[in-house]
């Protein structure tokens, strides 16, 4: 059994130098050649294949002796997707391709000196384009029969209100369905191994959130008999939204030191 429990019926700089070297196994090289052959006809094929590889690996990353807890898997991938969004924006700012000015990029520093990222560029990755994390996640929830979708505006509002507090990044969910960690903790745990997969197929950095969201969709379909689809979407966004506000330089530095 893949998942350990059944669904209840009631119920400004970004540096990749700290990340692992990319995978050059013969199977990856062959897959990259096949992707290149079909990419003109299927522009999404690179993101799709990267997402599938993420799914395969993520199932092992969160597995314990009881199996895979769906909440941890979806929460981890949600945090990864959100962090990939801010990582792309911060990298473009560092490269001089994007200015750190409103409304595109807004930097907010809390009383403890922690920097957070906001703005339209991040919002596009998270919720405001057809292949955003929210669009892909909500679309799968609806496909699986969700009667209603989670209130994304409420999640965004709560994340903003909790900046700089000890509850920032903690999902507002019942303990039974809360991922085992904050968005920042899960992003930091997922990142080293996930970065290797994300880089393996030469996927453009701007499509990393798409690949993570496609993996989320795959997991949601696999877990359709374990959790309510609306709840699965909420778990994802409860992690993705705060993770998209994290400072990449700070999180990557902590990852390297771990």
Q: Of 16, 4, 2, 1, nearest to 180 (Cα)?
A: 4
Residue 84's H or E segment, with its range, is: helix 70-94
DSSP code at position 175? G
Contact 189, 251 (CB under 8 A): no
Contact 200, 22 (CB under 8 A): yes
pLDDT in tens, the chain (258 residues): 455 545 443 333 333 333 333 343 447 777 776 777 666 666 788 999 999 999 999 999 988 888 999 999 999 999 999 999 999 999 999 999 999 999 999 999 998 889 999 999 999 999 999 999 999 999 999 999 999 999 999 999 999 999 999 999 999 999 999 999 999 999 999 999 999 999 988 999 999 999 999 999 999 999 999 999 999 999 999 999 999 999 999 998 877 644
| CA-derived radius of gyration, the chain | 17
Distances (CA, A) of 175 to 80, 163, 170, 236: 21, 21, 11, 15
Distances (CA, A) of 123 to 85, 206, 235: 9, 13, 18
Q: Which residues sit opposite 116 in a β-bridge?
A: 108
Q: Of all residues in the chain, what percent are helix, strand and coil, respectively (each to 5)? A: 60, 5, 35
What pLDDT was estimated at residue 256? 63
Residue 118's H or E segment, with its range, is: strand 115-118
User: How far is residue 9's CA from residue 205's CA, in Å, rounded to a whole number?
Assistant: 39
Contact 148, 230 (CB under 8 A): yes
Q: Which residues sit opposite 3 in a β-bridge?
A: 68
Helices 208-222 and 70-94 sit at what angle, rounded to 10 degrees? 170
Q: Of 60, 45, 95, nearest to 210 (Cα)?
A: 45
What pLDDT was estimated at residue 21? 39
Structure tokens at 179: 């991922």
What pLDDT was estimated at residue 42? 66
What pLDDT was estimated at residue 20? 38
Beta strands in 110-195 (DSSP E): 115-118
What pLDDT was estimated at residue 4? 52
């Amino acid at each position: 059994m893949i998942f350990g429990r059944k669904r209840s019926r009631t119920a400004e700089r970004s540096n990749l130098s700290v990340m692992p070297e990319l995978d050059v196994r013969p199977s990856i090289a062959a897959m990259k050649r096949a992707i290149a052959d079909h990419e003109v006809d299927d522009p999404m094929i690179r993101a799709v294949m990267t997402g599938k590889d993420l799914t395969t690996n993520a199932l092992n990353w969160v597995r314990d002796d009881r199996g895979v807890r769906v909440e941890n898997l979806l929460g981890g991938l949600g945090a990864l997707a959100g962090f990939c969004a801010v990582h792309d924006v911060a990298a473009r700012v560092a490269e001089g391709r994007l200015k750190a000015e409103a409304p595109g990029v807004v930097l907010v520093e809390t009383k403890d000196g922690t920097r957070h990222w906001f703005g339209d560029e991040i919002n596009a990755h998270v919720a405001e384009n057809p292949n955003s994390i929210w669009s892909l996640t909500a679309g799968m929830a609806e496909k699986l029969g969700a009667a209603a979708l989670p209130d994304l505006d409420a999640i965004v509002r709560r994340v903003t209100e909790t900046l700089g507090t000890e509850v920032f990044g903690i999902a507002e969910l019942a303990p039974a369905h809360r991922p085992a960690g904050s968005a920042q903790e899960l992003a930091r745990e997922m990142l080293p191994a996930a970065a290797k997969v994300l880089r393996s197929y030469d996927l453009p950095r701007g499509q990393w959130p798409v690949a993570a969201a496609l993996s989320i969709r795959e997991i949601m379909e696999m877990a359709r008999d374990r959790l309510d689809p609306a709840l699965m979407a909420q778990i994802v966004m409860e992690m993705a939204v705060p993770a998209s506000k994290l400072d990449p330089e700070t999180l990557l530095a902590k990852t390297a030191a771990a």
